[in-house]
Chain A
Amino acid sequence: MKKVEAIIRKSKFGDVRDALHKVEVNFFSYWDVTGVGNEKEGHVYRGISYSTSDIQRRHLAIVVNDEFLERTVKAITDAAGTGAVGDGKIFVSTVDDAIRIRTGESGGSTLN
């Protein structure tokens, strides 16, 4: 089992979700994150200019069986890309086990 973590533009979330559904990745969690990077956003408030390096992105966590890995990563890469700096990153790691709380069963079948 692999965990695919993707940090993507919020504006691309709908496209990514649809692309994942198309390759039958139907279950995943996401949350909004704030990060720090090179991107600077200019603000002016009551005559005072300031900039923030806070970057708003959406973080997706998807646990899939090994055979789903390639298509999951490809779906995200294709759907989330704009070609501009700041499209985000994908991290892949190995997951030891998965347990379904309702039944107590474990292993890859819990992901189906």
Chain B
Amino acid sequence: METTALFTANNVWMMICTALVFFMHLGFSFLEIGLTRQKNTINILFKNFFVITVGLLLYALGGFNLMYPGFEDGALGIFKFAGFGIAAPEGGMTTAYADGGYTWWTDFLFQGMFAATAATIVSGAVAERIKLNSFMIFAILYVGLIYPIVGSWKWGGGFLDAMGFYDFAGSTLVHSVGGWAALVAIYLLGARIGKFDADGTARAIPGHNLPLAAAGVLILWLGWFGFNGGSVLSADPELTSLTLVTTCLAAAAGGVASAIFSNILYKNFDLTMFMNGVLGGLVGITAGADQMGPTDAILIGIIAGIIIVLGIALIDKLKLDDPVGAVAVHLICGIWGTLAVGIFGAMAGLDQFLIQLAGIGIVGAFCVICSFFLLYIVKLLSGGSIRVEKEEELKGLDLAEHGMDAYADFRLNQH
């Protein structure tokens, strides 16, 4: 019975983590609508609902089998598809599966919750100006194909795994995969009307509901208990508790570092920077959450927090428009977190650092090329442009794309 009790405990923990990762989609939704304008709220919520629902269905249809195809020994480990649909294999509900860490069903759902995250990251960056149809087609292609293929290279036992590349919970495989697509998409889309002056000076477009954004960040932090805690892939007492400690310390350090650093640079206490710093710390620790000690985690968080502030300024300098800071948080801190595995903690070393660097480069190149290619196809399918008409953008996507108001009783500010 000893084995059975442990198996049950492991599986319960993994299902709790699955639920926590699911909850992160609410966090993303709140953060994105909070940092954007009232007139685009319905549109963002619609995209988030689309991503979690369709993402999960796509993962059942083929994503899971594309991400965990079971590469044969000696295979290159680049691409394999284990067929459509999901069905538990023999022994999938016993301790014979995954060292008794969880059942096959739990495995599917836990990974499925991750899958949609990559497209949700893109959703925030392209907010307030992308055509809904264009986003939906892109999300289907990206979540259905690109995310699982990249995932298979490492978590599915492919060539990045064989190379020794380490990414515990997805600084690269989830956050950077989403971040690269976000970067390409905002480059192709262009900035929102009013984001830059004629002389190129960046202007502020303040978000319409910072309390909601703050709730979103705290919900995301809570979700990260599952995102990283569940990536232990069992309820191993030492590893899960260490992971939660490193995760929380990095989040805290990231937030504090961002708040202080942005205060030094801009002489104000910017709540949105504080919040982005927390997220940067979380993304930064994600690649090595089980390999770090507390001090490592705090250092990773501090550096992530500083990178966030610089990253947001850099995006503005490059004349790119990222309303929620998705590129700075998910891409730049994702890269930092992945590199940090070679700098801090149990795996630190020059060899590991170079392997991490190679992994980042390979995934980055693949994601950038695929994003350009997919968005080109999407552009053709969307009548020559992935961006809404100027009038629609000014009116707001809630009215233009949905014919709805997010706050029907509060039509005070139509911008």
Pick the residue among B267, B270, B313 that contacts A45 (CB under 8 A).
B270
The yes or no answer to B265 lying at the interface (CB within 8 A) is yes
Within A93-110, which residues are at the interface with B (CB < 8 Å)?
none
- Nearest chain A CB to B341's CB is how many angstroms away? 29
Bound-complex Cα distance A47 to B325 (A): 12
The yes or no answer to B183 lying at the interface (CB within 8 A) is no
Main secondary structure of the interface of A (DSSP, over half): strand
A contact residues around B268 at 8 Å (CB): 44
A contact residues around B266 at 8 Å (CB): 44, 47, 49
Bound-complex Cα distance A43 to B267 (A): 11
A43-B206, A46-B272, A47-B273 are known contacts; what are 7 more A-B pairs with Cβ within 8 Å? A44-B204, A44-B270, A45-B206, A45-B270, A47-B266, A47-B309, A50-B204
B contact residues around A44 at 8 Å (CB): 204, 266-268, 270
Bound-complex Cα distance A44 to B270 (A): 8
The yes or no answer to B111 lying at the interface (CB within 8 A) is no
The yes or no answer to A84 lying at the interface (CB within 8 A) is no
Going nearest first, the 10 A-B pairs with the smallest beta carbon separation are: A45-B204, A44-B268, A48-B204, A45-B206, A50-B204, A47-B266, A44-B266, A46-B272, A47-B313, A48-B202
Within B195-220, which residues are at the interface with A (CB < 8 Å)?
202-204, 206
Which bracket fits the contact residues of A? under 10
- Nearest chain A CB to B262's CB is how many angstroms away? 7
- Nearest chain A CB to B330's CB is how many angstroms away? 16
- Nearest chain B CB to A41's CB is how many angstroms away? 13
Number of A-B contacts (CB under 8 A): 33
Bound-complex Cα distance A99 to B316 (A): 59
The yes or no answer to B146 lying at the interface (CB within 8 A) is no
Contact indicator A46/B273 (Cβ below 8 Å) = yes
- Nearest B residue to A50 by beta-carbon distance? B204
The yes or no answer to B312 lying at the interface (CB within 8 A) is yes
- Nearest B residue to A44 by beta-carbon distance? B268
A contact residues around B262 at 8 Å (CB): 47
A contact residues around B316 at 8 Å (CB): 47-48
B-side interface residues, number (CB < 8 Å) = 17
Contact indicator B312/A46 (Cβ below 8 Å) = yes
Complex A-B: 27 CB contacts under 8 Å: A43-B204, A43-B206, A44-B266, A44-B267, A44-B270, A45-B206, A45-B272, A46-B204, A46-B270, A46-B272, A46-B273, A46-B312, A47-B262, A47-B265, A47-B266, A47-B270, A47-B273, A47-B309, A47-B312, A47-B313, A47-B316, A48-B202, A48-B203, A48-B316, A49-B266, A50-B203, A50-B204
- Nearest chain A CB to B264's CB is how many angstroms away? 11
- Nearest chain B CB to A46's CB is how many angstroms away? 5
Of the candidates A46, A49, A50, the one having the most CB atoms from chain B within 10 angstroms of its own CB is A46
Within A46-61, which residues are at the interface with B (CB < 8 Å)?
46-50
Bound-complex Cα distance A50 to B204 (A): 7
Bound-complex Cα distance A15 to B111 (A): 61
> Chain B 266-287 against A: per-residue CB contact (8 Å), 1 yes, 0 no?
1110101100000000000000
Bound-complex Cα distance A43 to B270 (A): 10
- Nearest chain B CB to A32's CB is how many angstroms away? 10
A contact residues around B309 at 8 Å (CB): 47
- Nearest chain B CB to A74's CB is how many angstroms away? 34
- Nearest A residue to B325 by beta-carbon distance? A46
Bound-complex Cα distance A44 to B203 (A): 10
Of the candidates B202, B204, B267, B272, the one having the most CB atoms from chain A within 10 angstroms of its own CB is B204
B contact residues around A48 at 8 Å (CB): 202-204, 316
A contact residues around B270 at 8 Å (CB): 44-47
Bound-complex Cα distance A43 to B206 (A): 10
Bound-complex Cα distance A81 to B266 (A): 35
> Chain A 7-25 against B: per-residue CB contact (8 Å), 1 yes, 0 no?
0000000000000000000
- Nearest chain B CB to A5's CB is how many angstroms away? 22
Within B163-214, which residues are at the interface with A (CB < 8 Å)?
202-204, 206
- Nearest chain A CB to B216's CB is how many angstroms away? 16
A contact residues around B273 at 8 Å (CB): 46-47
Bound-complex Cα distance A44 to B316 (A): 14
B contact residues around A43 at 8 Å (CB): 204, 206
